[in-house]
Each structure stands twice: as C-alpha cells, then as structure tokens.
Homo-oligomer: A and B are copies of this chain.
Amino acid sequence: MNVEAYMTELGERARAASRVMARADTASKNRALAAMADAIDANRAVLAEANAQDMQNGREKGLDAAMLDRLELTPARIDGMIEGLRQVAALPDPIGGIRDMNYRPSGIQVGKMRVPLGVIGIIYESRPNVTCEAASLCLKSGNATILRGGSEAIHSNQAIAVCIRQGLEAAGLPQEAVQVVETTDREAVGRLIAMPEYVDVIVPRGGKGLIERISTDARVPVIKHLDGICHVFIDAEADRSKALNIAINAKTHRYGTCNTMETLLVDTAVAAELLPELAEHYGQLGVELRGCDQTRALLPGIKAATAEDWDTEYLAPILAVKVVAGMAEAIEHINRHGSHHTDAIITENYTKARAFLREVDSSSVMVNASTRFADGFEYGLGAEIGISTDKIHARGPVGLEGLTSEKYVVLGDGQVRV
C-alpha cells in the first residue's frame, strides 16, 4: 500500500464531504447519529468479535493490564457508546447560529455566524470507544473527520466504522464524512498532520509523548492537551470545612486525571491549624506528602519537596505541599509552576476571590470548588473532545463549540465603499 497516496485520497474525500456536512441540516445530522446508535446496538456480536481479536493480539503482544483494560469493549462500554451518540443528537446544533448583527454607519449590517472548522484529524490511542465519541462530535458540529486510532484497536475501530457509515448512509449524508484510517502504518500519522490542504486542525488524544510529537511535527494547527499541574490554595480566610473537603477531594477523588490537584498551597496563617488534620486524612488514604521547609516543620515525618516536585504532574497518590505568605505568593507560584490548567482558591474573602479569578492564568480558575470539576460534562458542554491547554482558539474543556469557528456575515442593500 502506498500510504501517502492513500492518505491523500482520504484527505480529498474528507474535504469534499466537509462541504456537504457544512450545509447539512440539523435533522439529518441527528438522524445519522440515531442510526449509528441503532447500528451499533444491532451489531454488538460483530463488535465483540472484532474486539476479542484485538484483545487476543494484545495479549500475545504482551500489552500491560491497563492497556488491555482500555482496549476492551465490554457490553457496558458498548452501551456507553450508544448512549453517547444519543446524547450528542440531543445537544443543540451550534452551526449557523448568528450573533451580534449590528447596523454600521455605512448602512451595512454586520454579525458573526458559527461555522464548522472543515476537516478534523483525530489521533488517539487504545480506547476504541473514542472512535464513536469523536465521530459524533465532529459530525454534529458539521465537520468531516479522519480518525486514526491505535494500531492495537484496529479491528474494533473498523467494526465501529462500519456502523458509523451505515448511520451516515441512512441519513443521506456522505460516508466520507467520517473515515477511519485502515492502515496501522505509522507513516499515516505523519501524512495526516502535514496536509493543510485537506485537514484544518488536528486533535491528538493520548499521552504527553504522543501529543508533543504531533505538535512538533504538525503542519496544521493542533488543539492539544499537555500537563495538568493543578493547585488548590487555602487562603487565610478560608472556611475550614470547605478547605478540608476540597483539598481531600481534589487530590483523592481520582489520581490519574488531569484535573487532580498536584500541589497544595496553604497560607501561613492557617497552616498550623489545617495541615496536621489534612495530613492525617491523606495518610489514611495512602497519599504521600512532600513538603517545603515550613510544611515539614509542622509535619516532621514527611519527605522534603525538591525543586522538581513543584513542576511535576504525579498522576499518583503523591502531593506536594507548600506554605505561602499570602495570595500574591500563591498566584506567583501557580503562574510560574502550574501548567495553566485548573487552579482553585478556598476563601471567604470577596476581594481576594475576585483578584484570584482575574490574575491566575489558567484555563479554569475556581473559587471554593474542587479542581475535579474541570470537565466538559460538569461544565454543561454536553460532551468533550478533550481539554485544551493552548491559549488560542479553545482553552479548557472543548465541546462542540471548540470544533467550530465564526465567520462574518454582511447584509446590505447595494452599499459600496466611498
């Protein structure tokens, strides 16, 4: 197979399909999503068989337990895909919405219309349900998409692709609106991220290594998600019980998620009161603490935090703890060492809450809430293609709107420039 020619063909077809998708009406898109859900429901046995083949190959290749777990399409996960498709169908259609139509002195009326980005390339790793999730979001937002899943999930992904095509066909939409790359050749990724004539944006979903590699090599814009080094700052005027609850929840609700707290900052005024109690809770939950000198003066048994700890996303039951002289030092620490993902202040002070919200340069900034809320579903986006740590285009959880753009529309009665 000539991978370059194959990818170019996918690109050409996607570009053509994107024109049809851009003008597809809401009812057709929703019909396609419902028909995809039906097709998946009707093909459970086929999906299970394809997945069993991937699982067997994975075991033979020696994939670790975590990877095999992500690869598995359990009946519950198939239910989840079906439910997800129906949920996306129920979301409002973002495309074509017009805002801010204002008359100008020249007599023209100018506003903005929400439009699809065009063709979106999605590159992901083992989880085959991403195929369905990503396809549904791109479809609802009027885009064509080229999906490149992990090679270990190739049979599962191809089986899902058949159901997706059935859904598109049932709704009279072009089957090329969602194309799943059929080769596992890595050259396909290299080509996918370097065809600006056919692909408008790349969304990589996976580990940091994958995302960094793609960002470096891509010749089209990338909506990327790198580290989540999230902070909770307990202010001198924090409510004691809110502080304890949030500090525990933000660290221990789940360890491996990007919105998990990795560093706890505590105002020196309340450190002696709160840290011993917090340490006891963390100890019971098996969380290892690494502290600054002041923290260790209060909690003598714990490890010293090194310079590296402040810049580390543990994704594990480890927490760095630092005592700070006040909010200014906390904000300085967050903006310097954080990853601009999600950071929270716990305080009852109105003025400090307002300043923290404005001055912390992160995609989500919170007052008196757990960092674990930074999530497209919790934010009411209805769905999430990922969380962007970029500053341009989309920041934070990316839903349907992040897969769109706005163009200007101008209505006139024959006006010309004078």
Interface residues of A (CB under 8 A from B): 19, 22-23, 96, 102, 104, 106, 108, 110, 113, 115, 117-118, 200-201, 221, 223, 239, 241-242, 245-246, 248-250, 253, 335, 344, 355, 357-359, 361-370, 372-374, 378-380, 390-393, 395-397, 405-417
Q: Is the CB of B378 within 8 A of A106?
A: yes
Kindly state the separation between the CA atoms of A310 and B263 in the bound complex, as whole angstroms. Answer: 58
The 5 closest A-B pairs by CB, nearest first: A369-B412, A242-B414, A249-B416, A372-B417, A366-B410
Query: How far does the Cβ of A57 sit from chain B's closest Cβ, in whole Å?
Result: 36
Kindly state the separation between the CA atoms of A7 and B241 in the bound complex, as whole angstroms. Answer: 48
Please indicate the chain B residues that have their CB under 8 angstroms from the CB of A344 in the complex.
410
Kindly state the separation between the CA atoms of A25 and B240 in the bound complex, as whole angstroms. Answer: 32
Kindly state the separation between the CA atoms of A358 and B93 in the bound complex, as whole angstroms. Answer: 14
Residue of B nearest to A249 (CB): B416
Query: How far does the Cβ of A282 sit from chain B's closest Cβ, in whole Å?
Result: 15
Residue of B nearest to A336 (CB): B19
Q: Is the CB of B379 within 8 A of A412?
A: no
Query: How far does the Cβ of A338 sit from chain B's closest Cβ, in whole Å?
Result: 13
Please indicate the chain B residues that have their CB under 8 angstroms from the CB of A417 in the complex.
249, 253, 370, 372-373, 378
Please indicate the chain B residues that have their CB under 8 angstroms from the CB of A115 in the complex.
361
Kindly state the separation between the CA atoms of A117 and B393 in the bound complex, as whole angstroms. Answer: 10
Q: Is the CB of A246 within 8 A of B416?
A: yes
Q: Taking each of A22, A253, A380, which has the highest tally of chain B beta carbons within 10 Å of its own beta carbon?
A: A380
Query: How far does the Cβ of A4 sit from chain B's closest Cβ, in whole Å?
Result: 20
